[in-house]
Structure 1
Amino acid sequence: MANAIETVQPIPVVGHIEKKALSWSNIALGAAIQTFEVSTLGQPFEVVKTHMAANRGDSIATALKRTYARGGISGFYQGLIPWAWIEASTKGGVLLFTSSEVDYRARVAGFSSSWAGLFGGVAGGVAQAYTTMGFCTFMKTVEVTRHKSPDASASTWRIAYDVFQREGIRGLNRGVSAVALRQMTNWGSRFGISRVTESIFRGKDKTRKLSTSERLASSAIGGALACWNQPIEVIRVEMQSQTKAADRPEKLNLVSTARYIYQKNGFLGFYRGVTPRIGLSVYLTVCMVFGGDSVKEYFNKSKKSAQNANA
């Protein structure tokens, strides 16, 4: 126990800790990377993952067939416009801004880069959930699961309006507690595991600059291993799902939803959709951690070069 406690204690600060440059251009960069991610492979992974989490008896093959049957290739992009774009264009900037600030404060306080990355990821994930992700995630899930509902032919805007009329802002943010829990564990794990993997690659030379392949591998490993929290994601989807069932509780919270899933599908029900989610997580983490670090480094070098030229 003593050793476990000692591992989380701040370590002595050696040398000057440079704060990662962050400006409006960095926030815009986060939004651009996230929008690129969701507009390419991100949304198809999201749709299949959500379908399997909501329809827990379907295999990956069945989910792919049913998704294609709903609208061909465009069926894999349900909820992309406007909800995924709104979410992506805001949450990427929120994540990079919050995580960078908390990461710096943690390192100044004496924590290692791995712990600072974990703290930054947790803070960034929570900030995402309670700013824009709550209602955007809810509406994306509605788009994927409402094909079995009586309102399947209504426009996405009409659905959002009707929910707002009935339940107000709280209704549009249904399941936000699960979203917050998922996001804080998501990004805490992704950043934390990625930084630990980077430290392993560096070995004894903690100042060595990692190669492109090492940084890419660190991001991919962080993304894949972060999927340990799939039960939270399945609970989130069920809370926001429009799929109707006679025995489904009318008002769901984290505890009642978990109980319902276990009664219907057992322990394995909490891991439905984990395979496409691993694909999504690896792709997203590579874009945000590896891609974000690479592009920020490029802009920072360009900025320093311009300043030196004008000196």
Structure 2
Amino acid sequence: MANSIETSAPTKVAQPEIQKKAVSFQNILLGAAIQTFEVSTLGQPFEVVKTHMAANRGDSIATSLSKTYARGGIAGFYQGLIPWAWIEASTKGGVLLFTSSEIEYRVRRAGLSSSWAGLFGGIGGGVAQAYTTMGFCTFMKTVEVTRHKSADANLSTWRIAYDVFQREGIRGLNRGVSAVALRQMTNWGSRLGISRVTESFFRGKDTTRKLSTAERLMASAVGGALACWNQPLEVIRVEMQSQSKAADRPTNLNLFSTARYIYQKNGFLGFYRGVTPRIGLSVYLTVCMVFGGDSIKAYFSEKQKQKQNPNH
């Protein structure tokens, strides 16, 4: 009697279901709170020094610090915090968490990795930030830092905003928004994407392993630091929104004419003025928004599960 050979189809390993991170009205408020905390602590001093160096491309870090302090002491490092940075922070944080979480979920459901999901989520969240809340706010923050170089140095920023609106309308108040959108798109695409790649590197072959707190912090810090490759966009944005009135400065600046002007005045290195304080800002911001945002969203998601399944 012939021996029968039993064959069976290879066992298919069940893949974990892609879970959507809970994004509720509560989480949108949470994003606003995290961003407001970030800008009210170390965020705004980094922002002020970075903006000063991008607008005054001949100044070193030490010179920028001394000039900022001379303008108003410790308070000088918080120029533009109230109300502009608070308005921006309280809105863009919620926009980022809501948009990026939704896009990350859709990309993962489409079969792409968490790294690609982070990249596309960051890009979408950054663009949404720029065109919903950041154009006007970044313009007014830059006015705060650079208006001492203009003929209107004694005017309040509210008055400058009113005069700009009278002359140029909404377009004038959103001057440089195209550079802001490119910066935010590349900022958060890089921050989230690189952070997720670093997380995958830490996990290695065990793709489901829960990362330690130190690993998640490191991933966020790496994402924040390496995202500063796009510093030229930040320098262009600051120059477009600056209140300086140099004789050779073109009057109607766009992305290309601004880039040409910066290169003619300061060469290639001019595009990287202020990159050091920006790295500090980016690391701090990314740790707050990626590590902090993920941690708190996971906390509320767990609380929601406990409410739905009280017996587990």
TM-score higher than 0.5 here? yes
Report the counterpart of residue 196 of structure 2 in structure 1: 195
Question: What residue number does 2:302 align with?
Answer: 301
Superimposed CA distance per residue, residues 203-254 of structure 1 (whole angstroms, 9 cap, x where no aligned partner): 1100000000000000000000000000000000000000111100000000
Residue aligned with 2:309, SS = helix
Q: Deviations over 1:145-167 (max 9, x none)?
A: 00121211111211111111111
Query: 2:179 corresponds to which residue?
Result: 178
Structure 1 unaligned residues grouped into runs of 5+: 1-12
- Counterpart position of 2:76: 75
- In the TM superposition, what is the alpha-carbon distance from 1:15 to its structure 2 partner? 3.8
Q: Greater CA radius of gyration, 1 or 2?
A: 2
Matches within 5 A, 1:277-292: 277-292=278-293
Q: What residue identity is the alignment partner of 1:106? A: V
Partners of 1:206 and 1:73 lie apart in 2 by 46
In 2, distance between residues paired with 1:45 and 1:146?
Answer: 18
Deviation at 1:303, TM superposition (A): 2.0
In the TM superposition, residue 44 of structure 1 has moved relative to its aligned partner by 0.2
2:139–2:175 CA contact under 8 A, matched in 1: yes
Report Cα offsets for 1:181-205 as digits up to 9, x if no partner.
0000000000000000000000110
Aligned residue identity for 2:115: S
Q: Which residue of 1 aligns with 2:212?
A: 211
Q: Mind listing any 5+ residue stretches in structure 2 that lack a counterpart?
A: 1-13
Within 2, Cα distance between the matches of 1:114 and 1:236? 28
Distance in 2 between residues matched to 1:44 and 1:246, nearest whole Å: 30
Question: SS of the residue aligned with 1:122?
Answer: helix
Alpha-carbon separation, structure 1, partners of 2:296 and 2:17 = 23
Per-residue deviation, 1:310: 7.4
List structure 1 segments (4+ residues) > 4 angstroms apart after TM superposition.
Answer: none
% identical equivalent positions: 85
Q: Find the counterpart in structure 2 of residue 7 from structure 1.
A: none
1:25 aligned residue: 26
TM-score (norm 1): 0.95
Equivalent residue letter for 2:78: Y
Query: Who is 1:273 aligned against?
Result: 274
Distance 2:107 2:149 in 1: 47
Paired residue secondary structure (1:95): helix
Q: Specify the alignment match of 1:5 in structure 2.
A: none
Q: Deviation of residue 297 (structure 1)?
A: 1.1
Partner residue, 1:42: 43
Deviation at 1:309, TM superposition (A): 2.2
| Structure-2 residue corresponding to 1:118 | 119
Distance 2:34 2:149 in 1: 33
1:97 matched to 2:101: no
SS in 1 for 2:310: helix
TM-score (ref. length: structure 2): 0.94
Aligned length: 299
Query: Which piece of structure 1 moves more, 254-263 or 158-167?
Result: 158-167
Distance 1:150 1:270 in 2: 26
TM-aligned CA distance change 1:309 to 1:251, over 3 Å: same
Report the counterpart of residue 235 of structure 1 in structure 2. 236
